[in-house]
Structure 1
Amino acid sequence: MYAGVCAKKTNVHIEQEYNMSHYPVHATSHALPIESHLLADALFSAPQPQAVAEDVARLWLDEHLLHTCAHFSGPHDTLAQAQRSQLTLICQQLHLQHGDTLLDMRCGWGELACWAASHYGAFVHGYTHTSTEYAYAVKQVEQRGLQHLITIKLADDQTLPEAGRYHKAVCLDMAEPLSATETTACLAHMHAALKPGGRMLLHGMTAENDAGQPEGAAPLSNVAQLLAQIEHAQFEVFKVDSLRRQYVRTLRHWLANLEAQYEAIAASAGERIYRNCQWWMTDHASRFEQGYTDLYQILAIRK
Structure 2
Amino acid sequence: MLGTMEEKAMVKFLGKFKDSPFIVKFNGREYTVGQGQPDFTVYVRRPIPVSQLMTSTSLALGEAYMDGNLEVEGDLYYALDRFLSQMDKFSTDRRSLVKLLNTSLSKKNQEKEVTSHYDIGNDFYKLWLDKTMSYSCAYFQKEEDTLYQAQVNKVDYILKKLYLKEGMNILDIGCGWGFLLLEAAKKYKVKGLGITLSKEQHREFEKRIKEEGLEDYLQVELMDYRDLPKSGKSFDRVVSVGMLEHVGRENYHLFADCASQVLKDGGLFLLHFISGLKEYSGDPWIKKYIFPGGMIPSLREMVSCLADDSFHVLDVEDLRLHYNKTLLCWEKNFKENREEISKMFDHRFMRMWELYLASCAAAFHNGIVDIHQILASKGVNNQLPLVRWY
Q: TM-score, normalised by structure 2?
A: 0.64
Q: Which moved more, 1:105-114 or 1:276-285?
A: 276-285
Q: Distance in 1 between matches of 2:172 and 2:250?
A: 19
Check whether the contact 1:49–1:277 (CA below 8 A) recurs between aligned residues. no
Partner of 2:189: 121
Which residue, 207, 214, 219 being the options, matches 2:283? 214
1:108 to 170, 176, 189: 176
Compared CA separation, residues 89 and 218, structure 1 to 2 (3 A) = closer
Question: How far does residue 214 in structure 1 lie from its aligned partner after superposition?
Answer: 2.6
Question: Which residue does the alignment assign to 2:250?
Answer: 181
The 3-state SS of whatever aligns with 1:268 is: coil
Task: State the AA in 2 paired with 1:102.
Answer: I
Counterpart pick for 2:324 among 248, 251, 257: 248
Greater Cα radius of gyration, structure 1 or 2: 2
Aligned to 2:268: 199
Spell out the pairing of 1:75-90 with structure 2 (5 A cutoff): 75-90=143-158
Do residues 266 (structure 1) and 342 (structure 2) align? yes
AA matched with 1:199: L
Give the letter for the 1:65 counterpart: M
Q: Within 2, Cα distance between the matches of 1:130 and 1:136?
A: 10
The structure showing larger relative contact order (alpha-carbon pairs under 8 Å, at least 6 residues apart) is: 1
CA contact (8 A) 1:100 1:167 kept: yes
Alpha-carbon separation, structure 2, partners of 1:292 and 1:211: 11
- State the 1:179 CA deviation: 3.2
**8 Å Cα contact 1:238/1:299 also seen in 2:** yes
Secondary structure in 2 aligned to 1:158?
helix
Q: 1:88 to 1:94 in 2, by over 3 A?
A: same
2:225 aligned with 1:157: yes
Alignment partner of 1:279 is 2:326: no
Distance of aligned partners of 1:165 and 1:259 in 2 relative to their CA distance in 1, 3 Å threshold: same
Q: Is the 8 A contact 2:155 2:180 kept in 1?
A: yes
Residue 68 (structure 1) aligns with = 136
Q: 1:202 to 1:146 in 2, by over 3 A?
A: same
The AA in structure 1 aligned to 2:221 is K
Output the CA distance in 2 between the equivalents of 1:28 and 1:263: 21
Change (3 A) 1:248 1:212: farther
For each residue in 1:23-82, what CA deviation from the matched residue of structure 2 results, as whole angstroms up to 9, or x when unmatched?
xxxx78896998654699999999975332111101111111001111101111000001
Matched, 1:138 2:238: no
Return 277-286 or 169-178, whichever deviates more: 169-178
Distance (whole Å) between structure 1 residues aligned to residue 365 and residue 75 of structure 2: 22
In the other structure, the counterpart of 2:370 is 294
CA 164–237 in structure 1, closer or farther in 2 if over 3 Å, else same: farther
Match of 1:168 among 222, 237, 241: 237
TM-score if structure 1 supplies the norm length? 0.81
| Worse overlay, 173-182 or 71-80 | 173-182
In the TM superposition, what whole-angstrom CA distance separates every residue of 1:88-113 from its partner, at most 9, and x where no partner exists? 11110000111111000110011111
Q: Give the aligned partner of residue 53 of structure 1.
A: 121
Q: SS in structure 2 opposite 1:297?
A: strand
Alpha carbons 1:206, 1:221 under 8 Å: kept: yes
Structure 1 residues 29 and 286: CA distance shift in structure 2, 3 A: closer
Is the contact between residue 164 and residue 192 of structure 1 (CA under 8 Å) also seen in structure 2? no
Contact 2:209 2:215 in 1 (8 A): yes
Question: How far is the alpha carbon of 1:240 from its aligned partner?
Answer: 0.1
Conserved 8 A contact 2:246-2:295: no
Q: What is the count of residue pairs matched by the alignment?
A: 277
Runs (5+) with no aligned partner, structure 1: 1-26
Distance in 1 between residues matched to 2:232 and 2:324, nearest whole Å: 36
Equivalent position amino acid for 2:378 in 1: R
| 1:194-247 Cα shifts (integer Å, max 9, x gaps) | 000000000122212478933465753322222111111221100000011111
Q: Which runs of 5+ in 2 are unaligned?
A: 1-71, 104-112, 288-292, 380-390
The change in CA–CA distance for 1:151 and 1:210 in structure 2 (over 3 A counts) is: closer
2:314 match: secondary structure? strand
CA distance in 2, matches of 1:236, 1:129: 29
The answer as to whether partners of 2:173 and 2:243 remain within 8 angstroms in 1 is no
Distance 1:57 1:274, change over 3 A: same
Change (3 A) 1:196 1:287: same
Q: CA RMSD in A?
A: 3.1
Aligned mates of 2:123, 2:73 — CA distance in 1: 23
**Identical aligned pairs, as a percentage?**
25
For 1:14, the equivalent position in structure 2 comes to: none
